Amino acid sequence: MKESEQQKIFKSWLDQHKGLLFKVLRAYAFTQEDREDLFQEIAAQVWRSIPNFREESAVTTWLYRIALNIAISWNTKERKKIEPHSIEGMEHLISEKETTLDERLAWLYDQIKDMNEVDKSLTLLLLDGFSYKEMSDMLGITESHIGVKIHRIKKELIKKSEKYEYDGV
């Protein structure tokens, strides 16, 4: 595949699906530096994956699979420090837009932030409407196992939301 073609696909994937990648960033990285680092890791892997994409799955499924596989084992401790005076260190990859988030969505992200790495992935997929079958394919565990985990996650979220609605925490 020619690099120009790869670049064209990469750009179109980013334009259409960047929201998906940002959800993963928000769930797994909590400082500007960490988000930039994770975004760079995911973007590099997405770029490399383009020649292997065979359209057997939807682009969203492909991107989620790559982003979650990177995010789950991405570790802030392993993050290499960016040289403060290097060109890399000076230019930001992503900058936050000034948007007012729905208070309940912010609460939801806070709950996801407190989950373990695997539950974070499942919750994102669940909220984005993926089926048990798709989640099972992406995670590599059985649908019934997915069902058990989702039941536990939902129960926990509902319990916490009752507390949130009652006293706002």
Partner 1 sequence: MEFEEMQKVWNKQSNEILYVINEDALHRRVKAKKKKANRIVDITEKGLMIVNTITAGILVADAIIDKEGFWDYGGALAMLFTVGYLLVIRRKRQKSENKFDRSMLGELDHAISSTQSTISIASTMIWWYFTPIAVFTISKMIFKGASVESWLLISGAFVLAYFLVNWEKSHCHEPRKRHLESLRQKLMD
Question: Under the rule (CB under 8 A), what is the footprint of partner 1?
Answer: 7, 10-11, 14, 18-19, 22-23, 25-26, 35, 39-40, 43-45, 47-49, 51-53, 57, 62, 65-66, 68-69, 72-73, 75, 78, 88, 91-97, 99, 101-102, 104-105, 108, 116-119, 121, 127-129, 137-141, 154, 157-158, 161-162, 164-165
| Backbone region of residue 155 per phi and psi (left: phi > 0; alpha: psi in -120 to 50; beta: other values) | alpha
Taking the CA atoms of residue 66, residue 68, residue 70 and residue 73 in that order, the dihedral angle to the nearest 10 degrees is: -150
Residue that has been written with the tokens 């932030």 in this structure: 113
Q: Is 29:35 a contact under the CB 8 Å cutoff?
A: yes
User: 3-state class of 80 per DSSP?
Assistant: coil
Minimum distance, C-beta of residue 66 to partner 1, in the bound complex (Å): 6
Beta carbons within 8 Å of 45's beta carbon, 6+ residues apart: 66, 70
Compute φ and ψ for 92, nearest 5 degrees.
-85, 140
What is the Cα 38 distance to its own chain's centre? 9
Structure tokens at 108: 């939801």
